């Protein structure tokens, strides 16, 4: 019900608006024709001006997920610690909290999110708040609220305040009728999960806001992302993270996908590098607003064989989860990312052998693997 009430209030504000997003504030606010929302008359703004020659002021929503903490670390090295604000609705670990600015931010609370953007003079926004594929199927109403209603809040605020907005899309934005090997940037999508539907919605809404309001919207379709810094989080490709943890802890791995299920994958460092590169790319170099990016493609069986070079005694069994298998079977086996490589020079660094070596170098230093080696 709070979501309904929030949407009702937003609709009421829109109906009462005079058609301009400038409101009656004493500071200039970008006018985008028919504003998605009316600027409240009691809005509180900082009077400090922001110079375009300065570093961007960055906000990351959903920052405690798989990618947010690593992205914050990369951006803080680039732009300065205090110019990058991490946010989430969960309590951060001490090492995250003390590593740089952190703010509680609920993307379903439009007013609070808008205040954060205004009071901190945010110029770049990375929107990572989302429920992933398998988790979303288990709670469709929550996924719809977070992935779609939250997206609308972010789009409206980004357009109103002239932000450069990054929203990640995913392999899950494709469906069983999409080309699978490879999937191009532009093709039939038609996903069959609420996660995939919400990501296609984000791609299309972001592009619409770009052409309708001039929003600087940028989007990458991520393959499965593999990271040593986070535990599996409910995604269909998370088996490729779990196998490393299980190999180290127990020497036994039970995979929920069939051994020959091939999917595109990427090591997290490549993912974060691509995200920063597309955000820094000159607008005139971008021929589209949503790009595929890719690094490698493998199956659980091929990954297990590579892992067994480090843990020869690893026992791998397959107990197929029909829900996740159906999701994986509807996704591409490979991505065509030639447009990203042509337009802004995308190039990956990690293939499968480098990925496995790097994962074990992070996870295995104090483990049975180190003792074996």
Per-residue model confidence as pLDDT tens digits over 45-67 = 333 333 444 799 999 999 998 89
**pLDDT higher for 365 or 47?**
365
For 246, the 3-state DSSP assignment is helix
Annotation marks residue 195 as catalytic:
yes
Contact 161, 43 (CB under 8 A): no
Using N-to-C axis directions, what is the helix angle for 239-249 and 352-363, rounded to 10°?
50
13-22, 51-60, 226-235, 263-272, range with the lowest pLDDT: 13-22
Distances from the Cα of 236 to the Cα of 34, 150, 181, 268, 288, angstroms: 40, 23, 19, 16, 27
- Cα–Cα distances in Å, from 115 out to 5, 42, 112, 131, 148? 19, 11, 5, 24, 21
| Residues 244 and 250 sit within 8 Å (Cβ to Cβ) | no
Q: What is the pLDDT of residue 66?
A: 80
Instruction: Write out pLDDT tens, residues 340-357.
Output: 999 999 999 999 999 999
- Please say if the pLDDT value at position 92 is more than 50: yes
Radius of gyration, CA atoms only, the chain:
21
Which pLDDT tens digit goes with each residue over 250-259?
999 999 999 9
Query: Coil, helix or strand for 355?
Result: helix
Band (pLDDT 50/70/90 cuts) for residue 369 is: very low
Question: For residue 232, what pLDDT is reported?
Answer: 65
Whether pLDDT at 304 is above 80: yes
Domains and CATH numbers, the chain: 130-371 (3.40.50.720)
3-state SS, residue 218: strand
Ramachandran class of 364: left when φ > 0, alpha when ψ lies in -120 to 50, beta otherwise? alpha
Q: Is 183 helix (H, G, I), strand (E, B) or coil?
A: strand
- pLDDT higher than threshold 80 for residue 18: no
pLDDT-based confidence at 233, cuts 50/70/90? low
Question: Can you point out the beta strands (E) in the chain?
Answer: 58-61, 84-88, 102-104, 124-127, 164-166, 169-170, 216-222, 224-226, 252-255, 263-267, 290-292, 296-298, 315-318
| Nearest-angstrom CA–CA distance, 25 and 102 | 28
Output the CA torsion sign for 97, 99, 104, 108: negative
Active-site entry in 195, 239, 256, 350: 195
Q: 169 with 195: CB under 8 angstroms? A: no
Residue 42: pLDDT over 70:
no
- Section 81-90 average pLDDT: 96
pLDDT at 2 over 80: no
State yes or no: pLDDT of 373 exceeds 80: no
Joined together, the tokens standing for residue 182 give 């490879």
- Report the chain's mean pLDDT, rounded to a whole number: 85
Q: Considering only residues 17 and 229, tell me which one the structure prediction assigns the higher pLDDT.
A: 229
Tell me which of 134-143, 228-237, 326-335 is least confident: 228-237
* Residue 28, pLDDT above cutoff 50: no
Least confident of 140-149, 216-225, 226-235, 283-292: 226-235
Peptide bond into 182 cis (omega under 30): yes
Angle formed at CA 22 by CA 18 and CA 27, multiple of 5 degrees: 150
Q: What is the DSSP string of 87-107?
A: EESSPPPHHHHTTS-EEE--T
> pLDDT-derived band of residue 338, with 50, 70 and 90 as boundaries?
very high
User: pLDDT tens digits, residue range 162-205?
Assistant: 999 999 999 999 999 999 999 999 999 999 999 999 999 999 99
d(CA 117, CA 310): 47
CA separation for the pair 251, 248 (Å, rounded): 6
Question: Judging by DSSP bridges, how do beta strands 102-104 and 84-88 pair with one another?
Answer: parallel
pLDDT at residue 363 is higher than 90 = no
pLDDT at residue 38 in the model: 40
User: Which of the given ranges, 125-134, 194-203, 224-233, has the highest pLDDT on average?
Assistant: 194-203
Q: What percent of the chain has pLDDT over 70?
A: 82
């Amino acid at each position: 019900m709070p979501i309904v009430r929030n949407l009702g209030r937003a609709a009421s504000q829109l109906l009462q608006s005079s058609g301009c997003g400038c409101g009656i504030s004493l500071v200039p606010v970008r006018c985008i024709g028919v504003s998605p929302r009316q600027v409240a008359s009691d809005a509180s703004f900082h009077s400090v001006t922001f110079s375009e020659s300065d570093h961007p002021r960055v906000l990351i929503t959903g920052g405690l997920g798989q990618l947010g903490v690593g992205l914050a670390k990369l951006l803080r090295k680039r732009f300065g610690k205090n110019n990058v604000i991490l946010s989430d609705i969960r309590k951060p670990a001490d090492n995250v909290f003390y590593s740089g600015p952190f703010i509680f931010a609920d993307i379903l609370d439009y007013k609070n999110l808008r205040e954060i953007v205004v009071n901190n003079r945010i110029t770049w926004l990375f929107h990572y708040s989302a429920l992933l594929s398998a988790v979303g199927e288990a709670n469709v109403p929550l996924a719809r609220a977070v992935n779609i209603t939250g997206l609308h809040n972010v789009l409206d605020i980004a357009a109103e305040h002239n932000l450069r907005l990054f929203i990640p899309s995913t392999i899950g934005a494709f469906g069983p009728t999409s080309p699978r090997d490879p999937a191009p940037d532009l093709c039939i999508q038609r996903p069959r999960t609420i996660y995939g539907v919400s990501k296609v919605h984000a791609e299309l809404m972001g592009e619409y806001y770009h052409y309708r309001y001039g929003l600087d919207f940028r989007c990458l379709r991520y393959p499965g992302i593999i990271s040593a810094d986070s535990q599996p989080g409910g995604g269909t490709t998370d088996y490729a993270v779990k196998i490393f943890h299980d190999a180290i802890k127990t020497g036994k791995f039970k995979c929920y996908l069939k051994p020959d299920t091939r999917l595109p994958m990427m090591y997290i460092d490549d993912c974060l590098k691509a995200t920063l590169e597309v955000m820094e790319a000159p607008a005139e170099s971008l021929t589209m607003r949503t790009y595929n990016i890719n690094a490698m493609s493998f199956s659980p069986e091929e990954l297990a064989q590579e892992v067994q070079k480090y843990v020869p005694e690893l026992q791998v069994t397959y107990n197929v989860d029909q829900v996740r298998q159906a999701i994986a079977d509807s996704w591409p086996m490979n991505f065509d990312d030639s447009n990203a490589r042509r337009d802004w020079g995308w190039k990956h660094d990690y293939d499968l052998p480098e990925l496995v070596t790097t994962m074990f170098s992070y996870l295995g230093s104090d483990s049975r693997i180190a003792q074996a080696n």
